[in-house]
A and B are shown apart, each in its own frame.
Chain A
Amino acid sequence: MTVNFYKIKDDFRVVNKTLGTPVKTLSIDFLASTSLSNPELILSYDSDIASCNYMKFVEVEKHYFFPQPTLSPGGRLIISGTDDVLMNNRESILNLHAYVTRSESSGNDLMVDGKRPVQANRHCKTLPFNAHPFEASDQERVINYTLTVIGGRKYGT
């Protein structure tokens, strides 16, 4: 089995991780059975591998996280892998149809986003209407009284 060891930076939640160039590639013969979901490798100590955090079983296209390897007596390096289900199934996942409730790339901004932080104080914006009907430019000549009388129509008109 060919195993590539990587030092990746991607968050574990990244579906399609950037692996880069393998730090180390080993050809491994399994001396005992191990799970494909959580494989455990016991290797001779290798400083390059000891600095890695990710590996890939090339023949089976399986990817695994692993924490810091464990050093054991006899100069051995024990690596316990955890199945990266996202990376292993990335193509199938990308072809999944799903109802997306949050997305970095698109969204409906008219939907209320309850996660937006909001301050207790508020902003106030005042916008006057563009007319000023109660502003008299010439108070001497303004007509602003009404006198209502009975009748009042000039006789003969």
Chain B
Amino acid sequence: MVLDGLLPTTYTPLEHLQATQRVLGTTEGSTGWDENFTNAYWLGWVNYDNLPVDYHISYMSKNNDIITFSDITTKANYDVGYAYGQADTGAYYGGNARYHADTNLWTPWDNNAPTVETQSSYMRMLNEFDINTMGISTVIPIFAIDVNSEVYCMAYTTVGVNDFINGTFASETVAVLSFDTAGNASQYGSQFTITKDDIAGDIVERTVDNKTYRIVCVGFEVVGKNFLNNDYSTTSSYVGNIKPFFRINSTLNGENYIINSYNAPYGSGFFWLYGDGYAFNQRYGILWDYTTGGNLTYQNKPYNGGEYNNVVAGNFEGSFSASEAYDKFFNRILGIWKPDGCNFILQGTTAAERVMIRRAYKYEELLKLISFYPRMCRDSNNTYDNGADKWYALVSEENEFMGELANGVTDRAKLRDWQLVGNKVNAESNTYTEDDKPDYNPEDDSEESGESVPIRRRLITTAVSSFLTTYALSPAQVVNFGNYLWQSFISANDTINQSMVENFKFLFDNGIASTTGSIDVASVMDFIVSLQVYPFDLIHAQCLSNDGMDSKVYIGRGTFGIETDGNNLFKVVNQIGYLSAGSVDVPRVFNDFRDYENMNITVYVPYCGTLELNPGDVIGRTLQGTYAIDMLSGECTFYLEVLNALTDSGELRYTVGVINGQLGITLPITATNQGQIVGRRIKDITGVIESFSNWGLSRYRADTMNYSRGLKENSDEIFNERMANAGRWGANLKLGSDLVNQYENTLSRACIKAPMIPGGSGIASFASPDCVYLQMRYGIYPTVANYNHSVGRVSTRSTKLSFCKGWTVCHNVDVSSLPCTEEEKASIKTLLESGVFL
């Protein structure tokens, strides 16, 4: 059943390329496809030359409008899957291309002149694998969309291997992971069935538990071939024939969905060439041997089941036992791209376990996801044991699917080189020699090794628990606290109220018991160490607790508490607070040396400054920033870590940048010296006031009024001086609640909204960004058409010249072995060192 809702609405060649290349790079504002290839990554058969002018798939090389496929030497016409394109003219040719042995030209499928490929022709590409040798043919990736617009990613079905081989199963129940739109997965929920007739690319509908799913069945069809036994009758074991459903681009309920499937990893491992006028079973397999750095081989297998024409060793076809074939095959699959920020999650320990994706995806996510989806690897012990081996699937917590590589290759660009040079493997020996080793050998990569050194999240509680208590307050709580301290000190009409004397003593007079509370040792002001304001919610600093707390600020021995706002307070329980600044993926721009040369990478860290990074440390990595904050001083250290550097031994985490700064700003209001300054004046005043007690009431009031005015004026001067140092405000500060309110209003607005520039200027800048950001500054390299043809790529290869094609420049060639005259040798040497076309 084909449903209208998911029928392709657009099908452009560009989309072909995206799927076939499994290109994941994105550019801001794009729809997931980086047309300029600046962020594109390739795996498998994609080759390119002189991007972005031209690009090539597989081992095709492009010369103007002619695709040549020089390594296929068998004289026949071939059709080969995948797409090629021509960025300069905008023409993209998807799907299958035809190789004409007589003219040595490639043209699109069924057409002698380049035309834009059609969906139907594209769908002719098949990828096949032998389940006997691979043992994982039970992996049937299925994706479905709930008609209610929720996107569901299904688990694999687990058709039994034998059933699959024998074609004895009629249908299979598929467990469905239910997700909500937030990506929360529930237990296995709805189930529906697939059948062996569910051909790839078809969209079928299943209704289970009152939910209707449209299913995009990557699927399979059982065909009557058995490569192992060279038997193509329909009665022998079957070979799973996976037809990759290419892509659906559809709008459903107003949302765009792109479903794009591909039966990787095997699609990247090999595919098939079809002979011209081929009978159905006459195929030519190409096996890409990654383990040895890339090996393009092919094999001619006649239709009638006759003798093999093993042109090159390494093809998985042949009379191998399952284990032998497995070894030959699996050991050569480079396999899996590990997404940045993602881990391969082992889902169970046996092949019967389902591999799953654990969240819902929409549009971009799904696009990225399925491009990589059915990628699995086996256990690393190189001993495949069907039923006991482990499967891994990509599970993204970050919803980011980019590329990293297993099998010792840790760098995408290096992978590409590895593959490219791998094309030139010695086709006769199927092995590398010193002479034809690739330009880049991943084993030479020594830039990352050793152990992870993550930042330590230490728990330090001594200072804050034994001698001090640091309360974490909201602005309202600070206001209330301040109001309490200064309440009724001076009334609004500038007159002294009844408890003025007591308040003075309460606030500043050491050792004198207050009538308003029980002060144990000293005045309130002497107990206050500091008041600081931070530009973020301290709740996020992982250092607070309200366990056992009430709504009062206690001082000293804790018998006296000052009420705040009635809400339970938080206190700092770990002197080091940790504030995450999040992470960022540092993309490759060019996928070559230009990612490192002439590249400057800086990270701006609010409240700290700017970190200069070495591109080699961070390109292609995920960086994570963390502020570690001293909650007593307000000072901070920003750590910038690399999260996902891969080595042979696994994942590394280490710090690539550290910078110090100041997050907490001390307010000049409550420090002891502040209290002492003010307190001395108060004591003078109160002494005078007491001496006035024998005077008449009117005189008392009049003189006290004078003194109080003097206090206000003098205090204003003090505060003005402090405020001038602190920044831009302070000129109009008042004592009492007005003062506190002024602090609160100004500081909370300013500090929460805007970071401050570090370096002692306090609240000096209200316009900084509210996040850490990374800046990449790199050179602009104009595209030079036919650059590789006219200039050539830099090579570090020592090889037989027959492995090189096109423009080639050598260094200090030894021509002594040439059977020619000395004069000719000299000429040849000169030409080779200045450049020749091979």
A interface residue numbers (CB < 8 A to B): 10-11, 13-16, 37, 83, 85-86, 88-89, 92-113, 115-119, 121-136, 139-157
Contacts and interface: CB of A to CB of B under 8 A. Distances in A.
B567 to A, nearest CB: 10
B771 A131 contact: yes
B791 A145 contact: no
A98 B817 contact: no
B94 interface: no
A106 B423 contact: yes
Interface string B793-813: 111111111111111111111
B424 interface: yes
Contact of A106 (B439, B592, B813, B827): B439
B269 interface: no
B469 A153 contact: yes
B592 A110 contact: yes
A119 B529 contact: no
Given A148-B470, A152-B468, A99 B818 contact: no
Interface in B807-837: 807-815, 817-821, 823-824, 827-828, 831-832, 835-837
Nearest to A36: B821
Interface stretch (B192-200, B233-241, B575-583, B644-652): B575-583
B804 A105 contact: yes
Contact of A144 (B594, B752, B771, B838): B752
B753 A136 contact: yes
Contact of B632 (A93, A105, A148, A155): A148
B582 A131 contact: yes
A103 to B, nearest CB: 4
B807 A103 contact: yes
A125 to B, nearest CB: 5
Contacts of A94: 800-802, 838
Interface of B: 49, 61, 413-414, 416-417, 420-421, 423-424, 435, 438-440, 465, 467-478, 481, 526-540, 544, 548, 550, 552-559, 561, 570, 572, 579-587, 589, 591-594, 596-598, 606, 623, 625, 627, 631-632, 664, 670, 748-749, 751-753, 755, 769-782, 784, 787-789, 791-815, 817-821, 823-824, 827-828, 831-832, 835-838
A92 B817 contact: yes
A146 B572 contact: yes
A103 B585 CA distance: 33
B469 A148 contact: yes
A113 B787 CA distance: 12
21 contacts: A89-B824, A97-B798, A101-B795, A102-B835, A104-B789, A104-B806, A105-B61, A105-B806, A106-B439, A108-B793, A112-B593, A122-B598, A123-B778, A123-B779, A127-B584, A128-B773, A131-B583, A133-B581, A146-B531, A146-B572, A147-B670
A150 to B, nearest CB: 5
A108 B473 contact: no
Contacts of A86: 828, 831, 836
Nearest to B537: A142
Contacts of A146: 470-473, 530-532, 534, 538, 572, 631, 664
